[in-house]
Structure 1
């Protein structure tokens, strides 16, 4: 089944590793909340694109679940508010997601971006922002879902892998695909070298997908 976003057939949005930079979309800034668990390179890519006026968006809040996550330092450099919601303090996944939803609503978030969010989400979060949660995954979905997508691609000895930006549904790494980038696997690649090359493309397609979402919102609010 084909899925469209702003008139684009999302199932055919397979893009090459060299994609054009997103353009600034006039209109109201997209208010996003970012969820991250680790180093925060994807968070920084978003924040830098906003600062460089490649994206007409504003990061309302960064939510992180790991007290030692390096993403906090990156957020502080860009003046973004950070909130720790340590998953270890919640008995159930639903309890954590309820706290996340409450925090996002309090910060007037329109869209949610998972930028290395290493937690399985529940309907509590997905239903609060239906078709408005973006995830980034290091494979060409539907191939190699799960947390070891890079290793799975190497083990399968495929010649090409890549990364995918998609809308989040309850099933892990499912949901309509917004954008993909292909990355060739080289003969002597390790998980580290392959992931490093995939990450370069992740930053590009994440910014591209957010730009598409911004265009969609502004066309809805301010039709020509």
Structure 2
């Protein structure tokens, strides 16, 4: 994946500014391929983020993130959302598992489920989400398609604290990505993903500094 044009990350923060004395315990939620999960784990392994991942929870039995967790020697558990009566029941199971692993931050790394007060109130100001647009623009599903259809010149990605309103909550970090004249859904998605992998570990450290 080639990043043909430079991106712009805001706010500008250095890794040195975000050095954490006490390691974070991250519980990660993922539904798909797990590239952001892998990026966070790699940042930890490269000592760029002072954290551990005691547990990954995934909701799709076919999710390739399971394979990445195995390769990274990170424990994972399947909570198939189809086996729960409602969103609250799923979130309670997530809370119970993460609490049993003493997780203190919940990281939604491509978690394709709407969260409820059950999860948010169990980890107040400690649930972080990533979205492939410059919020508040293009909330919801198919954000990259929305940006292409709107013919905007710039899009990007946002890491923010999760809230009851989908793709809302205080913004932690954003990266802008220019849309090139010949961009397709695939090429734009690939360039946005490069920026996601850069800013997600930084945003987690920033959140820990801001919200303790």
TM-score higher than 0.5 here?
Answer: yes
- 1:50 maps onto 2:44 in alignment: yes
Q: What's the TM-score once normalised by structure 1's chain length?
A: 0.87
* C-alpha distance in 2 between matches for 1:95 and 1:210: 27
Contact kept in structure 2, 1:61 and 1:80, CA below 8 Å = yes
* C-alpha distance in 2 between matches for 1:170 and 1:20: 28
Q: What's the TM-score once normalised by structure 2's chain length?
A: 0.91
Mark the runs of 5 or more structure 1 residues left unpaired by the alignment.
1-14
- In the TM superposition, what whole-angstrom CA distance separates every residue of 1:178-216 from its partner, at most 9, and x where no partner exists? 000000001111111111000000111101101213444
Q: Deviation of residue 79 (structure 1)?
A: 1.2
User: Which residue of structure 2 lines up, in the alignment, with residue 148 of structure 1?
Assistant: 142
* C-alpha distance in 2 between matches for 1:33 and 1:190: 33
Contact kept in structure 2, 1:40 and 1:74, CA below 8 Å = yes
Alignment of 1:44-123 (within 5 A): 44-123=38-117
- In the TM superposition, what whole-angstrom CA distance separates every residue of 1:54-96 from its partner, at most 9, and x where no partner exists? 0100011000000111111111111111010000101111111
Contact kept in structure 2, 1:56 and 1:214, CA below 8 Å = no
* C-alpha distance in 2 between matches for 1:95 and 1:122: 10
Contact kept in structure 1, 2:26 and 2:53, CA below 8 Å = yes
* C-alpha distance in 1 between matches for 2:194 and 2:119: 29
- In the TM superposition, what whole-angstrom CA distance separates every residue of 1:132-164 from its partner, at most 9, and x where no partner exists? 100000000000000111000000000000000
* C-alpha distance in 2 between matches for 1:84 and 1:118: 14
Alignment of 1:125-140 (within 5 A): 125-140=119-134
Q: Deviation of residue 126 (structure 1)?
A: 1.1
Question: Which aligned runs of 4 or more in structure 1 are off by greater than 6 angstroms?
Answer: 18-21
* C-alpha distance in 2 between matches for 1:91 and 1:62: 22
User: Which residue of structure 2 lines up, in the alignment, with residue 8 of structure 1?
Assistant: none
User: Which residue of structure 1 lines up, in the alignment, with residue 15 of structure 2?
Assistant: 22
* C-alpha distance in 1 between matches for 2:37 and 2:25: 14
- 1:196 maps onto 2:186 in alignment: no
Paired residues, number: 204
User: Which residue of structure 2 lines up, in the alignment, with residue 157 of structure 1?
Assistant: 151
* C-alpha distance in 1 between matches for 2:209 and 2:39: 19
How large is the Cα RMSD of the aligned pairs?
A: 1.7
